[in-house]
A and B are shown apart, each in its own frame.
Chain A
Amino acid sequence: AAGVIQSPRHLIKEKRETATLKCYPIPRHDTVYWYQQGPGQDPQFLISFYEKMQSDKGSIPDRFSAQQFSDYHSELNMSSLELGDSALYFCASSPVGQMNTEAFFGQGTRLTVV
């Protein structure tokens, strides 16, 4: 079965650079979430989209932005990268019209800022 696809899997950037992470949800899933997981930490919710509109916002820095496109894929844009942004970034998706349902996670993008 198709899963959530994230790209790239690994990314190395320098401080103050920008990065764009991409997420392709499971087909017919209309809700996408972004999470950040630092070393030894639990996943922290950043932002979510439902039907291409932002539906919820967590601890996303102002330097980050995200959107969901007409084909439901989502991109997380990160600017002025800092060393502390080094983390595993997960995208997850949920099925159509089902609030309060579990989320299915992609394999993540490992971002290293040097």
Chain B
Amino acid sequence: RKEVEQDPGPFNVPEGATVAFNCTYSNSASQSFFWYRQDCRKEPKLLMSVYSSGNEDGRFTAQLNRASQYISLLIRDSKLSDSATYLCVVNRGDSGYALNFGKGTSLLVTP
């Protein structure tokens, strides 16, 4: 079982739609949580960190539930440029230095 599990994709949504991605992690010692975005054949890029209190960055909202070991990402008013793979990322906890990635959820926003 992978340490980070994500919703299977792909998600195909029209422009302007709201879409939510979910993620669960298995290591209760994990302390850092992120959403990364990866475009085809490019490097992963940090979208946002995820904090226990929840955080928002423009159209993007991330939530963390430590008790359930669950992370979410909400994208409002989807744009064509949001089409990418979204990776849920959790640090390894015990060692603290390395990050474990989920398999990613593919999003395609259509006109």
Q: Please, which residue of chain B has its CB at the minimum distance from the CB of A102?
A: B46
The docked-state distance in angstroms from the alpha carbon of A35 to that of B96 is 16
The docked-state distance in angstroms from the alpha carbon of A88 to that of B34 is 21
Binds B, one of A11-19, A43-51, A61-69, A78-86: A43-51
**In the complex, which residues of chain A have a beta carbon less than 8 angstroms from the beta carbon of B100?**
45
B109 near A: Cβ within 8 Å? no
**In the complex, which residues of chain B have a beta carbon less than 8 angstroms from the beta carbon of A44?**
101
Binds A, one of B10-18, B36-44, B58-66, B75-83: B36-44
Q: Is the CB of B32 within 8 A of A48?
A: no
**In the complex, which residues of chain A have a beta carbon less than 8 angstroms from the beta carbon of B42?**
107-108
The docked-state distance in angstroms from the alpha carbon of A94 to that of B42 is 19
Apart from A56-B98, A102-B49: 14 A-B pairs, beta carbons within 8 A = A33-B98, A35-B101, A42-B103, A45-B92, A48-B97, A99-B96, A100-B91, A100-B96, A102-B32, A102-B34, A103-B99, A104-B46, A106-B43, A107-B43
A-B contact list, 20 entries, CB within 8 Å: A33-B98, A35-B101, A41-B103, A42-B87, A42-B101, A42-B104, A45-B99, A50-B97, A56-B92, A56-B95, A58-B98, A99-B96, A100-B31, A102-B32, A102-B46, A103-B99, A105-B43, A105-B44, A106-B43, A107-B42
A55 near B: Cβ within 8 Å? yes
Main secondary structure of the interface of B (DSSP, over half): loop
**In the complex, which residues of chain A have a beta carbon less than 8 angstroms from the beta carbon of B31?**
100
**In the complex, which residues of chain A have a beta carbon less than 8 angstroms from the beta carbon of B101?**
35, 42-45
Q: Please, which residue of chain A has its CB at the minimum distance from the CB of B85?
A: A42
Interface size class of A (residues with CB under 8 A): 20 to 34
Complex A-B, nearest 6 residue pairs according to Cβ-Cβ distance, in ascending order: A100-B32, A105-B43, A56-B95, A42-B101, A99-B96, A56-B98
